[in-house]
Structure 1
Amino acid sequence: MNTQPPDPHHASDPPRPTRSGPVPRWTAKLRRSLHRTLTEPPTLRHGRVGDIVAPGALHQWWTQVWRTGLVAVVAGGVLLSMLLIHGSPVPGFKSAAAGFDASRSAELRPFYTQKITWHACGTGVQCGQLEVPLDYADPDGPTIQLALARRLATDPDERIGSLVHNPGGPGGSGVEMVQGSIPLTSEKVHSQYDIVSFDPRGVAQSAPIRCAPPAEPADYVSLDITPDNPAEVTTFVEYQKEYGAACQAGSGERLAHVSTRETARDLDVLRAALGDEKLNYLGVSYGTEIGTAYAEEFPDRVGRMVLDAAVDPRINRLDFLRDQAAGFQLTLDAFLTDCATKADCRLGTDLPGARQRLNELLASLDRKPLPAAEAGTLDRDTAVGAIGQAMYNKEAWPALRAALEQALAGNGADLGLMALSGGPGGNFSDAFAAINCLDFPPAVTSAEQIQAQLPSFRKASPVFGESFAWEALSCTNWPAKPVGTPHEVNAPGAPPILVVGTTRDPATPYVWAQGLAEQLDSGVLLTREGDGHSGYVMGSTCVDDAVDTYLLQGRPPADGTRCA
């Protein structure tokens, strides 16, 4: 195995805003990150909050919600013991070549039989690396290292095996999620499973995609991601071209090898290296795309698989984005309806009135941004990003209500800080673009095609429609050729696969979960009736019990089970 040398084109990430640091410039890349946070942030669903604080302290609460659940890493981890923990046999452990099919490729055997060396990297957390081919068509060529993390089962005598988790994205770091302080499963499941995750190829610590910053003339500093005049459209299109070229320059040959299909093959190597005959897997949001690809490629190696907040693989990119716009609008209408019942809601006393008041606020921000203290200024794009982030978790609604009240009074500080604090870090935006542009053919070939689609996107969502429509241009001039196409997945021969959908999920509309469960030969649909992104460990005892029973006993709920 020939390990790829360190990346010589390592480019620094965009500046991360902090409450105490300098006011960040709204660069083009920051604006793109903001939009991509809207389309798929790394699981705000894990945030848990109590009573909402006063608006003046809102930024402290909001930052804590995101950072606790998403990127919290145990402080001082580098000072912990460097004692190496090798993968010694444990109950349920199989040979290191578990499930290796020699008929596939003898050249892959060294990858399937490798042993992971684990070391402490936080309280109760172990980290390691997995070596995989950069290109599975050339297993003797360059290789890359994937970052891993795990928490061992708390009741080793009852250990079932490993449960591999992916939090979503594309671009979300599984390692950071395991190192964070928020449980990814119930205590019962963790007692019998090692909770394992990884940074998929191209993400965070796993041969990350790096997009060397393109030259940013003044025209790009305030890039409008929802252009509404010819000059703004021209600037937007030119930036898209330069961004793709920058990703090619910063990432080289890696840019063509970060597809979800390749990640699914990595997942099978990981399964074998963990010593498991079958893959037990919990994928959330984009993580369901990885799981679906795995089930299609290796149906006989599927163990207990939960696909939560599912994506329908038959959807083309344009419909995908339009469906998401409609999903965010559905959840926003639920928020506005809820707001209208509150005494402190400045938006109105019914849904039509609240919609109108919000649209008026956003239109005024497009014409004249508000001062936003440490966030600089609050314009329409920034406000829409902040509102969209709050749709992921109903517990964020009181904070959003307070921030909107402040904005209606002429102060954009808290809404601006919600947008900044919610943004994902690391190389999320770059990985998001690279993976999507390999997985989907370009949605459109020109800005004119997007403009022709704008009425349908606005109909899907007066608030979010334009943002999602213009995202469709992101892969039009991408330098790496796409390898994926929308198609039906049946996974014949796989055991029952549990698909979880939430009726008012903004990012992965419920109809996608219905579609995936329907097309999988062994799909079982479990429904959470409610708001927010994903269903498991979101406060529904009914959903949690059903998922836990399936993971621990292998017994899925009846197809079509519905939970509050």
Structure 2
Amino acid sequence: MALVFVAPAANAAPATTSTITWGACADQSLAAAGAECGTLSVPLNHSDPGGRKISLAVSRVKHKTTASKGTVVAVPDPLNGSGSGCQLSLLGARVPGGDAFDWVGFARRGVAPSSPAISCQPDYLGLNAPQHIPTSPAIEQQWLDKARGYAEACAAKNGELLDHMKSTDIAADVDLVRAALGADKVSLYAQAYGTYVAQVYSTLHPERVARMVLDDSIDPRRIWYYAANFDQNPPLQRNQDIWLKWLAEHDDVYHLGNTLDAVRQVWDEQLRRVTAQPAGGVFGQAEWINLFLYPAYTQQTWTLLGSAFSNWVHNGDAQLLIGLYGQFYLHPAAENMYGALTSLVCTDTAWPTNWNQWRADSWRTYAVAPDATWGNTWFNAPCLFWKAKPGKPVQIDGAKVDSALLVTESLSAVAPIEGSYEVRSRYPGARLLAVRDGVNFMNTLTGNACVDNQIAAYLATGELPARKPGRQADAVCAAAPAPVPPGA
């Protein structure tokens, strides 16, 4: 489908710039780092700047040097794994020389402690869900009823806010954060879905961007999120097999088999086992797939979930599985973050409303990605029934942006490297740094010196590698070593 350039508030009167009153942070990690916290009032509807206001929670860690080299605003992914997004102001401590900058984080609209915070059905992500793979019309209908109920609850509880959760709204919020900081230009540090907000912002306001780091860029051609989610399934399946192969390499620890095929056979046996009889009565097929797909996202979970898998096989420890599922999916912020992400992806653009199309595309993809596909489909199924009005994506154009550093791991599944290639092609001043054979998602500033030092040099001086011709990375780093399990 063609993408149409839309700037929703282009002809509206400019909003009166609000200020941020800084004070102490309630969050202990922010307080311990010397951060200051505040709130910023922004329009609910940026096309009506004089209308209803909402509040954004903002944090800042100021520079530690004699003079500041500028301000870096971190643009979070809704499921960013760093709390609300305010914690991203702590990123400067991970950047060599990063203390020369002011680092600003914010909880994007709809995410607590910004207010109002989206909540729809607090138990929606709970245990004892229908099985993922709809082997009967009854199972399929259970999920459709569940998704419809969630969409209706979101509309009933959140009202007008759902119409103003698009990437264009968040990009407008970023500009008001910039103005409230008194900065003519800011640098942007964005991750995953946040990279698309940064793409929108830099397209609409290139003159206000100093430098820009994009970690795992979202493909601007696929902001028809329906298609993007099917793109993720095969690489998620591939990455899960990489984890299962790693388990086989450490058979002396996990005792699940010493080949990929052997471990895969155990995996399939246990999936059938919990499908027939959920562990502890509540941890069934859906929970098994959801929990054990995490290693396809990041190596940080490999040893923890390897031990849980092995412990279930050899000891039948259902409580460990149930406890881990709670840590990943049932923590207090999970439903809020899921609601905020759903509100974004369901309204950035229109989704198909014909379930027959969803069903056909899911079964087609299931043939090559059986573990990933149906969970992804049901994760996004509320978009089939979403009540808020969809928007039209901005046509991303970085021709007027001076520079950008794109970073990705070459086997990232949620944001495949092709998305970074596409963003690079639209930003003539951009360079792409790829981590060869890396499988991690949103993995910058996690201790890979090759990556971290290049980010630091770019932010400090604008230094970038030479741009290579064609559709390829401009620089390559080696992946961090795979984890070594305790007892190996």
Is 1:178 paired with 2:92?
no
**CA 537–179 in structure 1, closer or farther in 2 if over 3 Å, else same:** closer
Counterpart of 1:563? 477
Letter in 1 for 2:181: L
Identity %: 27
Distance 1:545 1:414, change over 3 A: same
Q: Name the structure 1 match of 2:313.
A: 408
> What is the match of residue 119 of structure 1?
23
Q: Is 1:206 the counterpart of 2:111 in the alignment? A: no
Q: Which residue of 1 aligns with 2:63?
A: 153
Change beyond 3 A, Cα 1:550–1:107: same
> Does the C-alpha gap of structure 1 residues 430 and 384 become closer, same or farther in structure 2, counting only changes over 3 Å?
same
Aligned-residue offset at 1:321: 1.1
* Distance of 1:213 and 1:188 partners within structure 2: 42
RMSD: 2.6
SS of alignment partner, residue 470 of structure 1:
helix
Whether the 8 Å contact between 1:211 and 1:243 is mirrored in structure 2 is: no
1:383 aligns with 2:288: yes
Name the residue aligned to 2:383: 475
Superposed displacement of residue 175, structure 1: 4.8
Do structure 1's residue 314 and structure 2's residue 255 form an aligned pair?
no
2:304 aligns to what? 399
Give the match for residue 454 of structure 1: 362
Task: Tell me the CA shift for residue 213 of structure 1.
Answer: 4.0
Equivalent-residue separation in structure 2 for 1:146 and 1:480 (angstroms): 21
CA distance, structure 1, for counterparts of residue 171 and residue 158 of structure 2: 21
C-alpha distance in 2, partners of 1:489/1:153? 32
Q: Rate the CA distance shift 1:221–1:532 in 2: closer, same or farther, 3 A.
A: closer
1:440 aligns with 2:440: no
Residue in structure 2 matching 1:352, options 261, 275, 288: 261
For 2:78 and 2:440, the matched residues in 1 are separated by: 16
- Aligned letter for 2:21? T
Give the CA deviation at 1:392.
Answer: 3.3
- Matched letter for residue 274 of structure 1: L
Return the alpha-carbon distance in structure 2 between the equivalents of residues 293 and 394 of structure 1.
30
1:504 paired to 2:419: no
| Cα deviations by residue, 1:258-295 (Å, 9 ceiling, x for unpaired) | 11111101101111211221121111111111111111
Q: Are the structure 2 counterparts of residues 425 and 234 from structure 1 closer, same or farther at C-alpha, using a change threshold of 3 Å?
A: same
1:551 counterpart (456, 459, 465): 459
Partner Cα distance (1:526, 1:333) in 2: 25
CA distance in 2, matches of 1:491, 1:501: 19
2:338 is aligned to 429
**Correspondence for 2:6:** none
1:526: Cα distance to partner?
A: 0.8
Inter-CA distance 106–231: structure 2 relative to 1 (3 Å threshold): closer
Are 1:540 and 2:448 counterparts? Answer: yes
Distance 1:369 1:221 in 2: 8
SS at match of 2:108: coil
TM-score of the two chains, using structure 2 as the length reference: 0.85
Listed as ranges, the matches of 1:158-307 within 5 Å are 158-169=67-78, 175=84, 177-178=86-87, 183=91, 185-213=93-121, 222-307=129-214
Given the superposition, is the C-alpha separation of residues 160 and 506 from structure 1 closer, same or farther in structure 2, using an over 3 Å criterion?
same
Q: Using a 3 Å threshold, how does the CA distance of structure 1 residues 543 and 506 change in structure 2: closer, same or farther?
A: same
Post-superposition Cα deviations, 1:440-494, rounded to whole Å, max 9, x if no partner, equal 321x323332221233321342211221133343211111011134x75222211
Instruction: State how far apart, in whole Å, the 2-side matches of 1:203 and 1:408 are.
Output: 38
1:110 matched to 2:16? The reply is yes
Q: Does 1:139 align with 2:49?
A: yes
Alpha-carbon spacing, 1:171–1:246, altered in 2? closer, same or farther (3 Å): farther
- In structure 2, the CA distance between the partners of 1:210 and 1:332, relative to structure 1 (3 Å rule), is same
When the two structures are superposed, what TM-score results if normalisation uses the length of structure 1? 0.74
Query: Contact conserved, 2:55 with 2:116, CA < 8 A, in 1?
Result: no
The question of whether the paired residues in 2 share the 8 Å contact of 1:154 and 1:192 is answered with yes
